[in-house]
Amino acid sequence: MTAFPDIDRIPFEGPDSKNPLAFRYYDADEIVDGKAMRDHLRFSVVYWHTFRGQGADPFGPGTAVRPWEDGTDSVENAQQRARVAFEFIEKLGAPFYAFHDRDVAPEGASLRESNENLDAVVSVLKEEQERTGIKLLWGTANLFSNPRYMHGAGTSPNSEAFAYAAAQVKKALEVTHELGGEGYTFWGGREGYQNLWNTDMRRELDHLAMFLHMAVDYAKEIGFTGQFYIEPKPKEPTKHQYDSDAAACLNFLRQYDLMDHLKLNLETNHATLAGHTMQHEIDTAGAAGALGSIDANTGDMLLGWDTDQFPTDIYLTTQCMHTLLKYGGLTTGGVNFDAKVRRESFEPIDLFYAHIGGMDAFARGLKIAADIRADGRLEAIVNERYANWTSGLGAEIEAGKHNLASLEKIMLAKGEATANVSGRQEMIENLINTYL
Ligand code: XLS
Ligand code: NI
Ligand code: NI
């Protein structure tokens, strides 16, 4: 049984190809900057959007046509869907996937039943991973959809909701470990507040930190050595999420002694909702030594919510890859397409077009970023801009040899600072365009 009978493995055909079911830039084996594109990009398909997304919106139900679905929420249907998912990922040629516990298996009437359902589907996932060689980039638990989490999970005022969430994370860690997952992600879900009048913020933050420490401890106990990630997002579903952007997450991790255990999983649309660029978020994480993984998507500047579109903007992917390369590239993480096809793109083949476009956009961004770095003109401009920090007074300050009084003495003697030089923003923007 095949779900995509008319589609073969997506080939690489090069930039001149007119075939919409071929890669024009993503050639997994091609070496860029000393490493195969496959290993630079570590593409990953998300289970929730690609295999569970139905295209529902607040104004109408799902539109997606998915012939492999039997219309039930049974374990059998979930197992069948898992096989379809691997057929898709294999034909696409992505090396990784990611899931939430409740994406892959139906929630049961009790925690025990939910765990059993999950095990029944995980055994199919395991079989399919072994058959195809596709690996789990990260697992996670859905701690936001069920009504028990209406006030949050790790930050819920209901201690039993916290306990249930802890049990869910325990199980999700176990299956992630069983599947050889390379990471485990915490996206805050409803970890935030709608109204501060009814919220004990300090208590909620303390609880969230305890929750994460419990996960770190349990991972150690079962021998799970994958990387933990925390995923910033400023709003949706709550008005104010505690993990609102990279800087807020880093501050939280530092305050609660979690920096050694979690890195950041950055998502483009979350960055823009936070009023930042993705490049800013990647640089913020990189500078803190906490660059983990990216959820590659894009928002729409004219819409104020998390539209989770597939990334196709070469300028965006170039910015992402240039900043990633600056910090040594992705190691444990990947380019995870946390993105969904539009409600109007309801046919199965649209899933292929969407991923091919995203993969090609990132492959192109990678190649352009590598060209920029190899050429060296941009880096030379930046080095020149900071040159006065590499010798003389700047170098002395960096080495810690000065204080306010010694600097005052120098400036009193000089009377005025050396004249500034131009930032050359327009010239640099023109330069970047020459590589595109
Ligand atoms: C939601 C998040 C979510 C995480 C995984 O906006 O992006 O999909 O990536 O829980
Ligand atoms: Ni995400
Ligand atoms: Ni998102």
- Considering the domain boundaries, does residue 366 fall inside one? yes
- Mark whether 422 and 363 lie in a shared domain: no
> Would you say the CB of residue 243 lies under 6 angstroms from ligand 1?
no
Are both 406 and 358 inside the same structural domain?
no
- Strand-pair partners of 100: 140
Distant-in-sequence, close-in-space partners of 243: CB < 8 Å, separation ≥ 6: 187, 188, 191, 192, 230, 231, 232, 233, 249, 252
Q: How many CA atoms lie within 13 A of 280 on its CB side?
A: 13
User: Domain residues for 350?
Assistant: 31-375
Q: How far is CA 45 from the centre of its chain?
A: 11
pLDDT level of residue 104 (50, 70, 90 thresholds): very high
126 and 267 share one domain: yes
Burial class (CB in 10 A: 0-12, 13-18, 19+), 243: buried
- C-beta separation of 32 from 319 below 8 A: no
H helical segments located in 307-376? 314-326, 348-375
- Position 17 scores a pLDDT of 98
Residue 49: predicted pLDDT: 98
Please tell me the residue having the least CA distance from ligand 1 atom 10. Answer: 187
Please state the rounded mean pLDDT for residues 405-425. Answer: 97
DSSP lists the bridge partners of residue 186 as 230
Q: Has residue 182 been placed in a domain?
A: yes
Q: How far is the C-alpha of 106 from the C-alpha of 127, rounded, in Å?
A: 19
In a domain, 64, yes or no: yes
pLDDT at 129 over 90: yes
State the amino acid at position 319 in one-letter form. Answer: Q
Contact 211, 162 (CB under 8 A): yes
Whether residue 330 contacts residue 42, with contact meaning beta carbons closer than 8 Å, is answered with yes
Of 375, 410, 426, the domain-final residue:
375
Say whether both 289 and 424 belong to one domain: no
Asked if the structure places residue 67 within a domain, the reply is yes
Question: CA torsion angle for 336, 338, 343, 346 (degrees, to 10)?
Answer: 30
Same structural domain for residues 365 and 411? no
Ligand nearest to the CA of 145: 1
Query: Could you tell me the distance, in angstroms and rounded to a whole number, from the CA of residue 187 to the centre of ligand 1?
Result: 6
Q: Check: pTM over 0.95? Answer yes or no.
A: yes
Q: Is residue 236 part of a domain?
A: yes
In terms of domains, do 125 and 82 share one? yes
CB 295 near ligand 1, within 6 Å? yes
204 lines ligand 1 (CB under 6 A): no
Q: Is residue 407 part of a domain?
A: yes
Report CA(395)–ligand 1 centroid distance (Å).
Answer: 43
Query: Looking at 51-108, which runs of residues are DSSP E strands?
Result: 96-100
Q: With contact defined as beta carbons under 8 Å apart, do 3 and 67 qualify?
A: yes
Q: Which atom belonging to ligand 1 lies closest to the Cα atom of 265?
A: 9
Locus of tokens 């008319």:
6
pLDDT in tens, 152-182: 999 999 999 999 999 999 999 999 999 999 9
Q: What is the pLDDT of residues 320-345, one digit of tens each?
A: 999 999 999 999 999 999 999 999 99
Position 1 scores a pLDDT of 75
The burial of 430, by beta-carbon neighbours within 10 Å (0-12 exposed, 13-18 middle, 19 or more buried), is given as exposed
| 196 lies in the same domain as 246 | yes
Residues 359, 328 contacting (CB under 8 angstroms): no
**295 bridge partner residues:** 267, 336
Is 420 domain-assigned? yes
- Residues 157, 306 within the same domain: yes
Query: By alpha-carbon position, which residue is closest to atom 5 of ligand 1?
Result: 187
Mean pLDDT for all residues in the chain: 98
Residue 17, CA atoms < 13 Å, CB-side half-sphere: 15
| 338 within ligand 1 shell (Cβ under 6 A) | yes
Q: Would residue 303 count as lying in a domain?
A: yes
Asked if the model's pLDDT at residue 13 lies above 80, the reply is yes
Question: In sequence order, which ranges of 223-245 are alpha helices (DSSP H)?
Answer: none
Number of domains in the chain: 2
345 and 415 share one domain: no
Q: Is the pLDDT of residue 119 over 90?
A: yes
Using alpha carbons only, what angle is made at residue 232 by residues 230 and 237, rounded to the nearest 5 degrees? 115
For 291, which DSSP code?
Answer: E
Centre of ligand 1 to C-alpha 281, Å, is 16
Q: Tell me, what's the pLDDT at 411?
A: 98
Tokens in use for 150? 């209406």
The SS3 of residue 137 is: strand
Select from 328, 354, 375 the last residue of a domain.
Answer: 375
Pair 84, 127 in one domain: yes
79-114 in b/e burial notation, b at 16+ Cβ within 10 A?
bbbbbbbbbbbebbbbbbbbbbbbbbbbbeeeeeeb
What is the pLDDT, as a whole number, of residue 51? 98
Q: Are 91 and 148 contained in the same domain?
A: yes
Proportion of the chain above pLDDT 90, given as a percent:
99
User: Cβ distance 285 to 230 under 8 Å?
Assistant: no
CATH at 118 = 3.20.20.150
| pLDDT of res. 304 | 81
pLDDT 10s digits, 180-231: 999 999 999 999 999 999 999 999 999 999 999 999 999 999 999 999 999 9
* Residues 192, 304 within the same domain: yes
C-alpha of residue 284 to centroid of ligand 1, in Å: 20
For residue 188, give the ligand nearest its CA: 1
pLDDT digits (tens, 9 = 90+) for 287-299: 999 999 999 999 9
- Smallest CA separation from ligand 1 atom 4, residue: 187
Dmax (CA) of the chain: 83
Distance 267 CA to ligand 3 centre (A): 7
Q: What is the pLDDT of residues 277-323, one digit of tens each?
A: 999 999 999 999 999 999 999 999 898 889 999 999 999 999 999 99
Q: Whose CA is nearest to atom 3 of ligand 1?
A: 187
